C-alpha cells in the first residue's frame, strides 16, 4: 500500500507547480449553468467513446455471398443462411449479422418478405394437411356437448367426428 502524502509535501508540490506556469491567469469565473454544460459535453464525449461499435464489419466477400444466397433462395431466412455458412463454409456469422447484410426484399405492406405466403404454403401442402376443431355446443335443453372434428384440407372432406357430453383424455385421443 502506498503511503499517503503529508500536507507539507502537497504544499511544496503546489509551490513548485506555481513556478512552472502562471496558474492564476488560467482561472476563469463561470456561471453554474456553464459548468454544468461543460460537464454534460465531457460526459457525452466519454459515453460516445465508451459505446463505440465493438464488432468490426464483415469483409465484402461474405457480404456479397449473403446477398447472393438471399437472392437465389427467397424462402430462406437469416437463421438458415447463417447455418449454411457455418456448416458448409465454416464462416461463423450470427443470424442478426446476416439480416444486416441481406438485400431488402419487400413483400406486402412494406415489410420484408422472409418466405412464402400462408396461402401459397397451404396450396402447396393441402394434400398432407388436416384441420381439427374442438368446440363446445349448447343444445336446446341447455346441455353442453363437446364436439371434435377432423377435416382433410386438400379434399375438404370430413375424416373424423365425435360428440360427447363428458370428454376424457382417451376420448380425445
pLDDT bin (cut points 50, 70, 90) of residue 20 is: confident
Domain ranges of the chain: 7-50, 60-110, 125-172
Which pLDDT belongs to residue 7? 73
Distance CA 129, CA 83 (A): 28
Q: How far apart are CA 121 and CA 125, in angstroms?
A: 6
Alpha carbon separation from 61 to 74, 116, 132 (Å, rounded): 20, 28, 48
What pLDDT does 173 receive?
80
Q: Check if the beta carbon of residue 58 is closer than 8 Å to that of residue 97.
A: yes
| Residue 152: all three cell numbers together | 382433410
Q: How many CB atoms lie within 10 A of CB 81?
A: 22
> How many whole angstroms separate alpha carbon 137 and alpha carbon 15?
96
pLDDT for 59 beyond 80: yes
In the chain, pLDDT over 90 holds for what percent of residues? Answer: 16
Residue-wise pLDDT tens digits, 62-106: 889 998 998 888 888 889 999 999 998 888 988 988 988 887 654
- Taking the whole predicted model, whether its pTM rises above 0.85 is answered as no
Amino acid at each position: 500500500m502506498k503511503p499517503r502524502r503529508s500536507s507539507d509535501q502537497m504544499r511544496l508540490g503546489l509551490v513548485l507547480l506555481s513556478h512552472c506556469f502562471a496558474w492564476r491567469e488560467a482561472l476563469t469565473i463561470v456561471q453554474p449553468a456553464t459548468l454544468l454544460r461543460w460537464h454534460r459535453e465531457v460526459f457525452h464525449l466519454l459515453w460516445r467513446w465508451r459505446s463505440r461499435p465493438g464488432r468490426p464489419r464483415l469483409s465484402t466477400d461474405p457480404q456479397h455471398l449473403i446477398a447472393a444466397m438471399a437472392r437465389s433462395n427467397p424462402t430462406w431466412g437469416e437463421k438458415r443462411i447463417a447455418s449454411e455458412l457455418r456448416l458448409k463454409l465454416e464462416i461463423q456469422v450470427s443470424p442478426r449479422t446476416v439480416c444486416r447484410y441481406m438485400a431488402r426484399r419487400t413483400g406486402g405492406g412494406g415489410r420484408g418478405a422472409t418466405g412464402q405466403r400462408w396461402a401459397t404454403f397451404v396450396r402447396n401442402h393441402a394434400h398432407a394437411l388436416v384441420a381439427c376443431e374442438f368446440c363446445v355446443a349448447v343444445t336446446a335443453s341447455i346441455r353442453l356437448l363437446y364436439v371434435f372434428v377432423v377435416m382433410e384440407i386438400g379434399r375438404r372432406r370430413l375424416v373424423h367426428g365425435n360428440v360427447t357430453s363428458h370428454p376424457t383424455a382417451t376420448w380425445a385421443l
